[in-house]
Each structure stands twice: as structure tokens, then as C-alpha cells.
């Protein structure tokens, strides 16, 4: 089940990725701006 702690945990992971892997985060942001994930969801 979804809990607030899970959200903080995810934010922690994302912040960690932001710190260690800025290029990965940039790539993901670019993909989401292009609607890549929305397209995948609609398939």
C-alpha cells in the first residue's frame, strides 16, 4: 500500500540520482517533455 514514507523514500532516491547522475536525469526529463512516457502508457 502507498504510504507517505514511500514518497519520501522515492524523493530520496531521486535526489541521489540527481546528485550522482545528472545526465540520466536530463535524459529522462527530455523524454518526458517529448511525451515519450505518455505514448508508452497509451500503447
Task: Tell me how far apart the alpha carbons of residues 4 and 17 are, in angstroms, rounded to a whole number.
Answer: 20
H helices of 1-43, in order, are 4-20, 22-33, 36-42
**Tens-place pLDDT, residues 1-43:** 567 788 888 888 888 776 777 777 788 888 888 777 677 777 6
The answer to whether 32 and 40 are in contact (CB under 8 A) is no
Rounded to two decimals, the pTM is: 0.34
Amino acid at each position: 500500500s502507498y504510504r507517505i514514507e514511500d514518497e519520501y523514500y522515492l524523493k530520496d532516491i531521486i535526489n541521489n540520482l540527481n546528485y550522482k547522475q545528472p545526465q540520466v536525469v536530463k535524459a529522462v526529463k527530455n523524454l518526458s517533455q517529448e511525451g515519450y512516457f505518455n505514448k508508452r502508457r497509451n500503447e
